[in-house]
Structure 1
Amino acid sequence: MDYKAKLDGLRKELNCTLCYFERKHIMTKHRANIVKISSICFSACITVFLGLNNAIDSSHMLMNVALVLGSLVTIINTVDAFYGFSSLWIKNAVTLARLRELKRKIEFYAAGQEDEYISERELNNFFDEFQKILKDDINQWLRIREKVNSMEKLKETERLPEIQFRNASEKADNIIK
């Protein structure tokens, strides 16, 4: 069996996967930072505008701007809670670090190794570790999604008594009329 070809194939696949996770890592880091910085900046502007509104009689214009910014902060924080950019960024960083570590192990093993001395067992161990890293990444992604989904379900169950009370109140009002 041509173990050199298997080693080269594993290296190629690992390099492609590394490129993919490097792009994902940069993209999720960028998104996480934009969401957090936007939320902080808009919140700070709200505080300043409301403070200025008390100091300057601006016919409530600054209050209206603060209200719009408050709505934007709510939207930004909701998007962040739904997608979990910070959690995804950390997940991708961990996966990327593990993939880089595996690459170093493979490169160290292959350095100066004669083709006839490449071990099938070592290649299989490297491949198994590679598969485990990818499976762990998927499982971590699923845990993040489950956390987001459970938070959404909790919000729905918290709203349920409010909706039931409102419906009961409306029925009572209709009966009274």
Structure 2
Amino acid sequence: MPDEPPGELAFLRSELDRQLRWYSKRRKRDKRKAFGLRLSTVLLSAAISVLLGLRNLGGYADLFADIALGLGALITVLAAADAFFSHRELWILRTHTVRDLEDISRDLRYCMSKDLPEDALKRDVERIYGELNRAIARDSKNWDRLRAPAATQPKE
């Protein structure tokens, strides 16, 4: 790694932009999946209510009851998938990480706008790089905590 700040600065800018893109993409994906699972269960629950209400139509009572039973089972599977994959919690976690990275990016842009001597710029770049590493480590730790089985999670 070169000693001059412009090389370190270029690396930091590139790495920060890469991490922001990656975490933003993951956040959108998790939001989309969380929304899809939640909306699916709500729509299927509503469909069950309608089907059970339509059972009084002549000759279709058993068919509607069977479809409602199948939809109820599907809701159970979707709820289990939602609980297992925790897309909503991942979306929230990634949102916090993206906000942290945006704050770091703003700090870096501010640092770059100042007319600093080379040694002061290098110190700021090192400090901001440390913040970037801490934000990523915090996300990783929170992801591990979210994924750990409930029995192995530390008591707070």
After the TM superposition, which residues 62-81 of structure 1 pair with which residues of structure 2 at under 5 Å, given as runs?
62-81=64-83
Shift of 1:150: 1.9
- Stretches of structure 2 that go unaligned for 5 or more consecutive residues are 152-156
Give the direction of change, closer, same or farther, for the CA distance of 1:115–1:80 in structure 2 (3 Å limit).
same
Q: RMSD value over aligned CA atoms?
A: 1.5
Give the direction of change, closer, same or farther, for the CA distance of 1:122–1:49 in structure 2 (3 Å limit).
same
SS in 2 for 1:113: coil
Shift of 1:113: 3.1
The answer to whether the Cα contact below 8 Å between 1:3 and 1:118 also exists between their aligned partners in 2 is no
Match of 1:125?
Answer: 127
Which residue identity is paired with 2:27?
H
Q: 2:144 and 2:65 mapped to 1: Cα distance?
A: 42
Give aligned-pair identity as a percent. Answer: 26
The answer to whether the Cα contact below 8 Å between 2:33 and 2:87 also exists between their aligned partners in 1 is yes
The answer to whether the Cα contact below 8 Å between 1:3 and 1:119 also exists between their aligned partners in 2 is yes
Q: 2:20 and 2:34 mapped to 1: Cα distance?
A: 21
Q: With structure 1 as the length reference, what TM-score do the two structures score? A: 0.79
Q: 2:98 and 2:48 mapped to 1: Cα distance?
A: 38
Q: 2:147 and 2:124 mapped to 1: Cα distance?
A: 35
Q: Say whether residues 1:104 and 2:106 are aligned partners.
A: yes
Match of 2:28?
Answer: 26
After the TM superposition, which residues 126-141 of structure 1 pair with which residues of structure 2 at under 5 Å, given as runs?
126-141=128-143
Match of 2:95?
Answer: 93
Q: Say whether residues 1:56 and 2:66 are aligned partners.
A: no
Q: Return the index of the structure with the highest Cα Rg.
A: 1
Q: 2:11 and 2:83 mapped to 1: Cα distance?
A: 39
Q: Say whether residues 1:43 and 2:45 are aligned partners.
A: yes
The answer to whether the Cα contact below 8 Å between 2:111 and 2:121 also exists between their aligned partners in 1 is no
Shift of 1:87: 0.2
Which residue identity is paired with 1:75?
V
Give the direction of change, closer, same or farther, for the CA distance of 1:115–1:9 in structure 2 (3 Å limit).
farther
Which residue identity is paired with 2:12?
L
The answer to whether the Cα contact below 8 Å between 2:52 and 2:68 also exists between their aligned partners in 1 is yes
- Stretches of structure 1 that go unaligned for 5 or more consecutive residues are 152-177
